[in-house]
Structure 1
Amino acid sequence: MPTEMRRPLLVAMAAVLLAAAGVALLAGAGGDTRRTHVVVDRVPMDEVHPAGAARHPGVVVAHGFAGSAELMAPFGDTLAARGYVVVLLDFSGHGANTRPMRDDDGAGRQRDLDVAVAHLRSLPDVDPARISLVGHSMGAGAVTRYAAAHDDIAGTVAISLPDASDLPPSRPVRLLTLVGGLEFPAFRTAAERAAAEETGRSEVVPGADHVSILFSPTAHRETADWLDQATGGPLPAPMRRAGGAALLLVALAAGLVPVARLLLGPGRRRWPRFEWRAVAVTAGAAAVAAVAARFLPTDDLPLRLGGYVAGLTGVTGALLLAYTSRRPAVEEAAPRRPAAPLLILYAAISIAVPLQLGLTHVVPVGPRWWLLPVVWAGFLLLGYAVERAGGNALTLLAVSALTVVALVAAAVVGLTSTFVLLVAPLLAVLMVGQAVWSAVLHRFGAPRWVIAAAGSLLVAWPIATTLPLVSS
């Protein structure tokens, strides 16, 4: 078998093995628990029921900003293994919840918690007198305030609590706060302040940041031990779902090699040189875009932070494209008829399926269906400008890094939400994935617009489907 055929075949075999391992991890998550999805008063919820017919204590689990019930699913696994019935909700503007979040929606989150707690108490296998709360970040603030106002909450766990300034003295009772050892100091201050009373306790989870604390065995063990009113078996691995999703992501990325070979043929394009001039232009363009994006109509889109990101990437891409337009256009052979749409579809599957199955809710709902193309357009313009500049994957990485730096700087000076500071590493990971796709598709001679469209979708999809919907 020729080498040009053998290599894609070997990569395809490796991708299948990785995908099988990922599916096996995801299929076994949750053990023998029973899971049900319900919507009550417009609040989507996932129920997790342990085995056994007896009445169980119950826990409502609340996600953070840009999170979802799916993101908190490992806590459902952990607590159900200890004998709890768990309800995981999607707050307004998040996950599958199409009700928009308002600018200061503390009251809205309390309403959503009211619905979730009432629903949990109504379940036939739940002891309504033994209800506890667990929340992360924004959800931690919501559950502590809810517990402070409701004496019938048996216990509360606040993970990465952002602020405790408005909690009343000695409330809530039986509060455990958990904070990652790598989180910003303000989170540790809030955790210690909230748990300062005799019935509270604060713990630092070593080596965890604002996101990885959700998958820390220490955080899961501390949560279960604090709430423990029932007996159960050993705790499941918190990373099982995320690990399965990661294997699927890698498998589908590896699968791009045989897919591109099948759709584009064996064509090989020479590796382009690094375009340092384009990187220098991007630095200036991103600085201009960071300011301009604050005043563009995109900043008013009903997607918190997403409109600003679309504006920043779009303006940066437009300025870089104006620079590259001075170069003569490179003539490219048209791809085989179905290649372009199939590669873009494969990109959508490669990012959406693993994240939805093992990490968080990324199926577009409500206005997200039209917001996704808007966010995608900004990243597409930036990606195409880089392709016009030569298409070197390292150039794309450098441009992506400057884009992330511009976003972080904008957050620091107040041009956009400081939430960027927490998710910048995740955005950087997505952009690395985009660079990998660019390198593979460039190698097989894909048209530059196809490379840009497929790669940019990998970044735009999670942004458009996870950031909160807000009132326009």
Structure 2
Amino acid sequence: MLARFIVAAISLIAIAIGLHELRGAADGLRITRTTVGETPVTIFQPEAKATAPVVVIAHGFAGSQQLMQPFAETMARNGYIAVTFDFLGHGRNPVPMRGDITEGETITSELMRELGQVASAAARLPDSDRRLAVLGHSMASDIVVRFALANPDVQATVAVSVFSPAATATSPRNLLVIVGALEPAMLKDEGLRIVNLAAGGNAVAGRTYGDFADGTARRLVLARGVEHIGVLYSHDSMEQSLRWVNNAFGRQKADFIDARGRWLALLLLGIVALAWPLSALLPAAGQTPVATDLTWKPLLIAAFVPAMLTPLLLWKIPTEFLSILLGDYLAVHFLLYGALTAAVSIYLRRRTGGSPAARISWPKIAIAATAVGLYNIVVFGLPIDAYVFSFVPIPARIPLMAAIACGTVPYFIADEWLTRGAHARRGAYALTKFCFLLSLAIAVALNPMKLFFLAIIVPAILLLFLAFGLISRWSYRATHHPLPGALANAAVFAWAIAVTFPMIVR
């Protein structure tokens, strides 16, 4: 009991410090939320009124404007007017993308048009001096490059995690390319290729080529120690972007660099850790513990068979039945994977004799599942919505949650049943999550054109497995039954997928 009290106290302190520091990043700023047409827009600008250049900041695939807050607050705290927004189909934008993601041209032109509308509205802001820079991540790196090519009045472009065949040796004006040092080699090679167009094939990271005065400046930055999402929180990314825009506009101020990564990590770690002492409040739902008695050999079979079969069985099957890009495939992947896991587990238990079913209290199961589910969604969700990505759903996304839950519920029930219990093998949970990620990797390899973006979100899925896996483990120990943790995990994964992946009309 004393240990739980100490952990609770430390967790609450960590949460308080994290929230205080995250809120403090906006000190001295006026933050205005508005819309341009139906596009949600947020304007960050210094409280002291003065004319300044505008930096329009665009998020990547399956992101939202919250992801770009570190750049926005860095720019605004240093005297710029920073503008973020939710692209079509993303975040709280109610208008879906239209077109075929593999064809690209239709969606690209629509996103460029939307960026143009936001940029035009930003240029008309009362404190704007009509000078403009653009910054985009991943999918949006190509959009901002193309937009700047078509609009020579854009004086600086920052392309993060870049891929853009449109860039030339001299256009767009003053192009900075940032790639995480831990990102795939193809992105680093693309960044080097773009800068080499102006450097005569001899470009190296960290060196500036060309001249800001005539708009030919080019530079590749490898942000240290970060991958595709971490690059959005990197000190290197913030510092180099600010320095680049300052050079383009002839400004010097560099008083603030956003450092929210550490505080965000402290906040989320505190929320995870707080779940352990709180789990003691959950009712015991089973009179005898549920036992997982498979030895390692059958456990390996139960883990790897679904991982191998699921992507193969879904390889040629159409899975585009929901108005959410890739979310429908994930729902079917979860469903089939869970069904195969359950079938193999039942077969193996019958061969080994299995263990007697535990007597349980269904009302207590419902209470525990509701409590854990609310903790996962509300206590995690509110700070995530404020500081990471859009988590509070718009009405159009609520039916999608129910549809995706039809896949996540069977998967998590089967997985928790396989990996929890008084005699569960140490490392079983880690094994089954590795196998699930392996199955997604196989699916991407079989159909890269359709599923490429799944590879980008693997680190996010891994973090979710880790955080909510700990919570479901503590839930099992308190309730003696895997169902509350399984249902809570299924709910939060369905929620996260439904609010994250872009809505699309094909």
Q: TM-score by structure 1 length?
A: 0.91
Alignment of 1:406 with 2:439, yes or no, is yes
Match of 1:434 in 2: 468
Match of 1:141 in 2: 142
Asked whether the 8 Å contact 2:138–2:162 carries over to 1, the reply is: yes
**CA displacement 1:247-270 (0-9 Å, x = unmatched):** 232222222223221232699958
Match of 1:235 in 2: 256
Pairs within 5 Å for 1:302-341: 302-325=323-346, 326=350, 327=354, 329-334=357-362, 336=364, 338-341=367-370
Match of 1:113 in 2: 115
Within 2, Cα distance between the matches of 1:266 and 1:368?
33
Pairs within 5 Å for 1:271-420: 276=296, 277-294=298-315, 298-325=319-346, 326=350, 327=354, 329-334=357-362, 336=364, 338-389=367-418, 391=420, 392=424, 394-414=427-447, 416-420=450-454
Post-superposition shift, 1:234?
Answer: 1.5
Post-superposition shift, 1:42?
Answer: 1.1
**CA displacement 1:126-158 (0-9 Å, x = unmatched):** 111x11101111111000000001111111111
Between 1:308-317 and 1:270-279, the stretch displaced more is 270-279
Post-superposition shift, 1:54?
Answer: 1.7
Within 2, Cα distance between the matches of 1:271 and 1:15?
31
Asked whether the 8 Å contact 1:383–1:396 carries over to 2, the reply is: no
Structure 1 residues 9 and 269, CA, compared in 2 at 3 Å: closer, same or farther? farther
Post-superposition shift, 1:414?
Answer: 1.2
Within 2, Cα distance between the matches of 1:394 and 1:319?
20
What are structure 1's unaligned runs of at least 5 residues?
A: none
Within 2, Cα distance between the matches of 1:118 and 1:109?
14
Within 1, Cα distance between the matches of 2:294 and 2:72?
47
Asked whether the 8 Å contact 1:434–1:459 carries over to 2, the reply is: no
Post-superposition shift, 1:365?
Answer: 1.8
Asked whether the 8 Å contact 1:335–1:446 carries over to 2, the reply is: no
Asked whether the 8 Å contact 2:282–2:479 carries over to 1, the reply is: no
SS of the aligned residue for 2:66 comes to coil
Post-superposition shift, 1:466?
Answer: 1.3
SS of the aligned residue for 2:159 comes to strand
2:218 to 174, 191, 201: 201
Within 2, Cα distance between the matches of 1:383 and 1:432?
14
Post-superposition shift, 1:455?
Answer: 2.5
SS of the aligned residue for 2:94 comes to coil
Between 1:35-44 and 1:338-347, the stretch displaced more is 338-347
Identity %: 29
Count of residues paired in the alignment? 464
1:51 to 27, 47, 51: 47
SS of the aligned residue for 2:493 comes to helix
Within 1, Cα distance between the matches of 2:505 and 2:85?
20
Within 1, Cα distance between the matches of 2:36 and 2:258?
30
Alignment of 1:39 with 2:44, yes or no, is no
Asked whether the 8 Å contact 1:47–1:88 carries over to 2, the reply is: yes
Match of 1:174 in 2: 174
Asked whether the 8 Å contact 1:72–1:88 carries over to 2, the reply is: yes
SS of the aligned residue for 1:419 comes to helix
Post-superposition shift, 1:311?
Answer: 0.9
Asked whether the 8 Å contact 1:351–1:458 carries over to 2, the reply is: no
**CA displacement 1:207-246 (0-9 Å, x = unmatched):** 33222111111111111111113343512333x1x43332
Within 2, Cα distance between the matches of 1:294 and 1:365?
32
Task: Give 1:157's aligned amino acid.
Answer: V
Structure 1 residues 73 and 390, CA, compared in 2 at 3 Å: closer, same or farther? closer
What are structure 2's unaligned runs of at least 5 residues?
A: 199-209, 211-215
Post-superposition shift, 1:19?
Answer: 1.4
Post-superposition shift, 1:53?
Answer: 1.8
Asked whether the 8 Å contact 1:71–1:359 carries over to 2, the reply is: yes
Between 1:107-116 and 1:422-431, the stretch displaced more is 422-431
Within 1, Cα distance between the matches of 2:388 and 2:92?
14
**CA displacement 1:41-89 (0-9 Å, x = unmatched):** 1111110011322211111001111111100000011111221001101
SS of the aligned residue for 1:256 comes to helix
Structure 1 residues 185 and 202, CA, compared in 2 at 3 Å: closer, same or farther? farther
Pairs within 5 Å for 1:75-154: 75-102=71-98, 103=100, 104=104, 105-128=107-130, 130-154=131-155
Asked whether the 8 Å contact 2:14–2:266 carries over to 1, the reply is: yes
CA RMSD of aligned residues (A): 2.4
Task: Give 2:263's aligned amino acid.
Answer: G
Structure 1 residues 45 and 145, CA, compared in 2 at 3 Å: closer, same or farther? same
Asked whether the 8 Å contact 2:290–2:358 carries over to 1, the reply is: no
1:64 to 60, 66, 84: 60
Match of 1:188 in 2: 188
1:454 to 473, 480, 488: 488
Asked whether the 8 Å contact 2:90–2:503 carries over to 1, the reply is: yes
SS of the aligned residue for 2:281 comes to helix
Structure 1 residues 248 and 180, CA, compared in 2 at 3 Å: closer, same or farther? closer
Q: TM-score by structure 2 length?
A: 0.85
Within 1, Cα distance between the matches of 2:500 and 2:409?
19
1:221 to 229, 239, 242: 239
Post-superposition shift, 1:12?
Answer: 1.9
2:276 to 237, 257, 272: 257
